[in-house]
């Protein structure tokens, strides 16, 4: 584990980057056919944080379509809600969601890694 500046151990295994990318998700065990659009707050090759107006319970399994910049096709993954926290600002209210990837193709995980490393260099 690495140490953060506030001396709290960092538990993440993957480098996480604050980045806003378009996503679409469905809650798989609810049989919903239509995806819900959302925006990521951060992304890593192990999971992502995003904002939504829908309350999602911990451990819900999600079908995710992640629209990475410069890619023609979305990354398709299966994820699990790890935490959900309500938020409210002057303009909007909703939920911050933390998710981890349960299933993602190795080449898609690599695309996310390459995206993160390219933005960290600039």
Question: Other CB atoms closer than 10 Å to residue 36's CB: what's the count?
Answer: 15
**Domain with 108 in it:** 16-121
Q: How far is CA 122 from CA 11, 13, 115, 117, in A?
A: 26, 23, 11, 9
Total domains present in the chain: 1
| pLDDT beyond 70 at 105 | yes
Residue 82 is encoded by which pair of tokens? 């790890």
pLDDT digits (tens, 9 = 90+) for 9-60: 455 566 677 889 999 999 998 766 678 999 999 999 999 999 999 999 999 9
Give the confidence band of 98 by pLDDT, cuts at 50, 70, 90: very high
Domain contains 71: yes
Domain contains 8: no
Domain contains 35: yes
Domain contains 2: no
Domain contains 10: no
Classified as helix, coil or strand, 107 is helix
pLDDT value of residue 12: 52
Looking up residue 48, the CATH number of its domain turns out to be 2.40.10.220
- Report the range of poorest mean pLDDT among 37-41, 66-70, 115-119: 115-119
């Amino acid at each position: 584990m690495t140490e953060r500046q506030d001396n709290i151990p960092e538990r993440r295994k993957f480098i996480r980057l604050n980045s806003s990318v378009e996503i679409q998700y469905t809650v798989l065990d609810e049989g919903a056919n239509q995806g819900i659009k959302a925006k990521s707050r951060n992304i890593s090759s192990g999971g992502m944080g995003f904002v939504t107006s829908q309350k999602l319970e911990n451990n819900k399994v999600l079908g995710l379509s992640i629209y990475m910049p410069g890619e023609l096709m979305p990354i398709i993954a299966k994820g699990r809600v790890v935490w959900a926290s309500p938020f409210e600002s002057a303009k909007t209210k909703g939920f911050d969601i933390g998710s981890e990837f349960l299933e993602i193709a190795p080449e898609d995980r690599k695309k996310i890694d390459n995206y993160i490393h390219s933005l960290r260099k600039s």
